[in-house]
Amino acid sequence: MKIEDILRSNNQDLIRLVKYVTKKDPYKNTEYNINKNEIQRIKKLKKRIGKNEPIEYIIKKAYFSKYEFLVNKNTLIPRVETQIILEYLKNYKNILDLGCGSGAVGISIKRNNLKINVTLSDISEKALYIARKNAQNLDIKIIKSDLLKNIKNINIYDCIFANLPYIKDFDSLPYSVRLYEPKIALIGGGKHGLEKIENLINQIEERKWKGDLYLEVDPFQIKYIKKKNFIIKDQYGKNRFIKIIFK
């Protein structure tokens, strides 16, 4: 296997390669055909892994659902816990993915069914730069917006999915998350980390939008959200999403 293929392949192969390259005499091994420059390059990767940098940022890609996405330090690494929501969103016609980050959710929906109209939006221009690249060749609208501020035609959407930042206690996060993932994607604000989510609910009510809102939250936060119609569990059985129907 060539190095480029390995870097493009899954994490396990990369870790195996790094382990192998940092063995005493990698040239002798016949498993990989590696030259000196490549060895240096992989040793650099090893250093980054050693500093707890997530593999996804090192190889600049992450998997979500069955798709590959470009990610970098300006986008959250899409989490496996989020994936189950695709099942719930697949029957809507016009979806706004608010706080889209890399675009993993909205783009997966679109790729699964090209008939669904998808809009991606985020407050971070740097995240949208990556989302735009991931959405290349797909008919997807992209809007830079602080919550709903620049979403003028909200009534075209029958569904809003929002995985906004909801972390209450930044210091409780794993070291690699605190050090490498963008703060703007993590910290929710307010007493329970729900400030952004509450602001979104208020904006929706002010604009009298009718439709279904799906929110991703931390399981402990569910009790603090007054308005909720359904609770949806993630694949680990934890209460992860709230569905609110606005009539």
Residues near ligand SAM, by CB under 6 A: 76, 78, 82, 98-102, 104-105, 122-124, 127, 146-147, 163-165, 184-185, 196
30 DSSP 8-state letter: S
- Minimum gap (Å) between residue 172 Cβ and ligand SAM: 16
Rounded CA-CA distance 175/163 in Å is 22
- Minimum gap (Å) between residue 218 Cβ and ligand SAM: 11
Toward ligand SAM, which CB reaches closer, 16 or 73?
A: 73
Per the structure block, which two tokens stand in for 186?
Answer: 């993590």
- Minimum gap (Å) between residue 207 Cβ and ligand SAM: 15
* 38 alpha-carbon distance from chain centroid: 31
Phi/psi at 177 (nearest 5 deg)?
-70, -50
Rounded CA-CA distance 153/169 in Å is 35
- Minimum gap (Å) between residue 233 Cβ and ligand SAM: 17
Rounded CA-CA distance 70/102 in Å is 7
The label of the residue with tokens 């990610």 reads 71
Per the structure block, which two tokens stand in for 115?
Answer: 């008939």
- Minimum gap (Å) between residue 205 Cβ and ligand SAM: 17
E-strand stretches of 26-65: 61-64
Rounded CA-CA distance 14/157 in Å is 41
Toward ligand SAM, which CB reaches closer, 49 or 86?
A: 86
- Minimum gap (Å) between residue 2 Cβ and ligand SAM: 30
Rounded CA-CA distance 58/47 in Å is 11
Nearest to 206 by CA among 164, 151, 166, 158: 151
